[in-house]
C-alpha cells in the first residue's frame, strides 16, 4: 500500500506527477513549468490549497526548477509550504533523447526511495505515522561562524550540500531551512566533528 500524504504536492509537469503518484497516495498539482508565472488562476488555486491543506514544493534540482520554486516561495505564505529537495544526480530520463542543459535527473527520473526520502526530509505529513520532534534549531550565525556563509564560503557550502545529497543551487537561506528539516542538533554537531576529523586525516 502506498503511503498517504496530507499536504498537496506541487511538481513542475505531468511526467513528474505520474511518477509521484506511483509512489504515494496524495493530491499532486503541476505548475505547467514556467507558465505558472503568468497564470493568475493557477496561483490563486495554489494559495487556496496552501491555506486548506498546506503544500510541499518538489521541483527539479536544476536552475529552472529553482526559478519556479523561488517564484512560488515568494508568492505563497511561508508557513503554509514545505520544501522537498531531490539530490543532484546526473543522467537523463528514459523518454528523452538527450539530457537536460545541466545533465541532471528531474523528479520523474528519481527512484521511489529517493522521492519518499525527499518528502520525509521536508517534513511532509505521512498519515498514520508519528511526526518527528525537532530539536534546537541551527542558526545562521552558526553557519557564518563555521564558514558555510560569508566570504570564501562557496566551496565549503558545496561540500556540505554534497554530503547531505542536496542540490547545489540551494541559497544559504534555503540551505539553513533544509538543515533544520534534515538534522537534529546532535546530528549536526556530529557532522561538524566528523568533517573536521576527515579534513585533518587528509593533511
Q: Give the CATH number, domain containing residue 65.
A: 3.40.1360.10
Q: How far apart are CA 173 and CA 196, in angstroms?
A: 23
Q: How far apart are CA 159 and CA 189, in angstroms?
A: 16
In a domain, 126, yes or no: no
pTM: 0.80
CB atoms within 10 A of CB 67: 14
Judge whether 184 and 175 are in contact, CB under 8 Å. Answer: no
Per-residue confidence of the chain (203 residues) as pLDDT tens digits?
899 999 999 999 999 999 999 999 999 999 999 999 999 999 999 999 999 999 999 999 999 999 999 999 999 999 999 999 999 998 888 888 777 788 899 999 999 999 999 999 999 999 988 766 666 788 999 999 988 998 888 898 888 888 888 888 888 888 888 888 788 888 888 888 777 656 545 54
24 and 90 share one domain: yes
Q: How far apart are CA 136 and CA 131, in angstroms?
A: 16
Residue linked to cell 505531468: 14
- The confidence score (pLDDT) of residue 200 equals 45
116 and 167 share one domain: no
29 and 100 share one domain: yes
In a domain, 3, yes or no: no
Q: How far apart are CA 77 and CA 152, in angstroms?
A: 33
- Residue that finishes a domain, picked among 59, 88, 121: 121
Give the containing element (helix H, strand E) for 142: helix 140-145
145 and 81 share one domain: no
- Residue that finishes a domain, picked among 87, 121, 155: 121
What total of structural domains would you count in the chain? 2
The residue range of the domain holding 69 is 8-121
Amino acid at each position: 500500500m502506498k503511503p498517504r500524504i496530507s499536504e498537496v504536492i506541487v511538481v513542475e509537469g505531468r511526467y513528474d506527477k505520474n511518477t509521484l503518484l506511483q509512489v504515494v497516495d496524495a493530491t499532486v498539482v503541476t505548475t505547467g513549468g514556467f507558465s505558472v508565472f503568468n497564470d493568475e488562476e493557477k496561483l490563486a488555486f495554489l494559495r487556496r490549497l496552501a491555506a486548506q491543506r498546506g503544500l510541499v514544493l518538489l521541483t527539479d534540482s536544476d536552475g529552472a526548477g529553482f526559478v519556479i520554486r523561488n517564484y512560488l516561495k515568494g508568492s505563497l505564505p511561508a508557513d503554509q509550504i514545505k520544501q522537498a529537495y531531490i539530490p543532484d544526480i546526473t543522467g537523463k530520463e528514459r523518454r528523452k533523447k538527450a539530457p537536460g542543459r545541466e545533465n541532471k535527473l528531474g523528479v520523474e527520473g528519481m527512484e521511489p526511495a529517493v522521492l519518499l526520502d525527499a518528502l520525509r526530509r521536508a517534513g511532509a505529513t505521512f498519515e498514520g505515522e508519528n511526526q518527528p520532534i525537532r530539536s534546537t534549531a541551527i542558526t545562521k550565525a552558526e553557519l557564518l561562524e563555521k564558514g558555510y556563509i560569508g566570504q570564501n564560503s562557496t566551496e565549503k557550502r558545496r561540500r556540505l550540500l554534497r554530503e547531505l545529497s542536496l542540490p547545489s543551487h540551494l541559497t544559504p537561506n534555503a540551505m539553513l531551512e533544509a538543515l533544520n528539516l534534515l538534522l537534529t542538533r546532535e546530528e549536526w554537531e556530529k557532522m561538524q566533528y566528523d568533517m573536521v576529523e576527515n579534513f585533518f586525516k587528509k593533511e
